[in-house]
Structure 1
Amino acid sequence: MRDQDPLPDSTGRRLSTKEAAELLGVKPETVYAYVSRGQLNSLRVPGGRGSTFDAKEVTALARRNRPASGGSSGSAGGELSVRTRITLIERDRYYFRGVDATELAARHSYEEIAEWLWTERLSPGVTFTAPEATVDVARRAVEALPEHTGPTDRLRVAAIAAATADPLRFDLSENAVLGTARTLIPTLVAALPPVLDDRRRDDGPLAHRLWTRLTGRKPDEASLRALDTALGLLVDHDLAASTLAVRVAASAHAHAYAAISAGLGVLEGPLHGAASGLAHRLLLDVLDRGDAAPVIAEELRAGRRIPGLGHRLYPGEDPRARALFALLEEIPRAEPALLAARDIVATTARHTPLHANVDLALAVLTASSGMPATAGETVFAVARTAGWIAHALEEYGERPLRMRPSGVYVGPKPPQPLPEA
């Protein structure tokens, strides 16, 4: 993190840069690299040019960096940690700026939650709209893509196209970035090809507009509420891989459109945003076969992990899944998919305690609503854009280029002879 103003030392003895370097077994320059990566905090020496470091913090970092017994170090300095005021995950619950996220999603719309995440203020009834000219540019860019293009690619192209229509995109002030966010998110949705022609929903809440891009079925209020809640639940989830990519881009002072594009690029992986699509296909297979047991057996025999189960941040139940399942139980047509999901969990968890995660809950929503397997990825990407904006704003306030880890070279020891043809 950035150097802070001197404060009274209430945490114990403070170390000089030289002392910290000796304790860590590194050069003084590397100590400041730890500071830039957010692994150490420093305080300036009053009236001087040097810095001091908390002894306990340095000792903890040295312990994390210490190689395993009998081996050599494989890390230049522990795991990357980034201080943030946005999301806390603790004891099978998660919080947005200290407020229970599942309760926020139950009582407020996606747009209201986004505003809370960005400004720490609630704006009842807020909706996001985009200039028609920006939507037109993004839509034409998306329409030029091949028919088989995936949803994340469409969204990434829409974001880039929208950036070209915004001459103020390089303004990284908070008000400018918030203005970008409030128009970019509805632009992403409007740029997707509609499946259902329902002009009544073109100007409504974002979840209503997104529904027409995901399925040809006419929605009922319970289904729209479930989709809106899913968006709210997925707004942010601490430093997921895509969020870290956004912060790296923002650390380099990339504009908001470029930072969102970086997040979309990482989101596409099967271990992240695309995981709900795998759960969707598994769910359809179980529905088709009428029994999860043979489907699970075939997946395991093929060496594939069962999607939609477990989460490394939640030893117990994923709170996002619990909240979404509760809403889906109120939708009669979702009952078969819900029963199939429960069968998957019960079959897979016979020997090891496992719980459904949000990917399986999202799969129940998409499968029971006549949406394609890629719909969950679209919902995930649109929802998470709001969280990425919050993280980009936070990172713009930090020291530039601090997200720069050091490589650990393990190649041939130089000097090596020049290669021959």
Structure 2
Amino acid sequence: MSIKIRKLDSSADGFRKALHAVLAFEASEDDAIERSVAQILADVKTRGDAAVLDYTNRFDRLEAKSVAALELPMMELEAALESLEPKRRAALEAAAARVRGYHEKQKIECGSHSWQYTEADGTVLGQKVTPLDRAGIYVPGGKAAYPSSVLMNAIPARVAGVREIVMVVPTPDGVKNPLVLAAALLGGVDRVFTIGGAQAVGALAYGTDTVPQVDKICGPGNAYVASAKRRVFGIVGIDMIAGPSEILVLCDGTTDPRWVAMDLFSQAEHDELAQSILLCPDAGFIARVEDAINELIESMPRRDVIRASLEGRGALVKVRDMAEACAIANDIAPEHLEISALEPHQWAHEIRHAGAMFLGRYTSESLGDYCAGPNHVLPTSRTARFSSPLGVYDFFKRSSVIEVSADGAQTLGEIAAELAYGEGLPAHARSAEYRMRNGG
């Protein structure tokens, strides 16, 4: 059965409306989930370990006697790494090395160092940059096991200089994924607790007798985890609330259509709400991609998920030219943007909004997911218009440094006092005037 994927034409009347109908996605807030999460968080805040233990035993079907019993010893992580088949271990270690190398370079380039300058009157101004004390990494458990996400969340925190990284991962029925535990070791995680769900987010946010409070929580999770992260933001920092995965392929028609079809599949297989869109000026090539989609779909183990995704939120879009494709891409602001063209850099200069750009026909998005080096935690749902991939900079905070000299207090005091009186805040003004030679 062929896939009924939308086909749009940018020159047709009503194209913009049709495109935005494809893009439209609002995370539904299930009232039952919201009520449940609010109750769990309140309980964890009040009862601490006891609540975390109760929910963990209930939801993950465990019989743990204490939260302390749910913390894994480092030797278990080491054993997990040793248990891996050699080829898979080598792949995990290579990915970790590449992700670490990229983020070490990012640390040098992203303004991670403190700085200051001295004005003529001796006043010193600057900025002190310091890493967070403690970061929390949430890792999905059960059917979803993502060692790559462990690396992408833990390594930038470690490179940034975070003092302690605490990982939480649910283990339904006590089943632990050795690849995830091995990734935690390679990523530099300090402590691992086998807890999950809203109760794990609450434990990290509020702290318990056993689980330390963190400064920021990162990592993907289900609807309960997303709701909990949203609710604890402000008590702790969070990375982002991510929506379904997205890929937008800009292609000039020179790439193998089977490659493009498989790239669309690579996001569609995540879940039924994932989005895969192709923009191309060549109608004949679009037809060949559609043929490739229908040829390859039956060989995909997750074909039912791919079919639902492509039919529900996918599109093949005929555009006038690659310049228009770039303009439309900026409107979409995708999580992943592939520019599969003979001259990808020419078109990359036109892109302003994308979580990550993959340039050239050999650069599949999947390489970025696992081992290229840049972070795969990316903004979704058009938030690439104003936000960035997770990085070393997410684990720093900046403090302004101001050291005013006696001479500087005269000049700045006059300015500050005048503005403070203008705002009706006389104590502010007098505070500045007291430092002036002729002040109170």
**TM-score, length-scaled by structure 2:** 0.26
Greater strand fraction, Structure 1 or Structure 2 = 2
**Structure number, greater radius of gyration:** 2
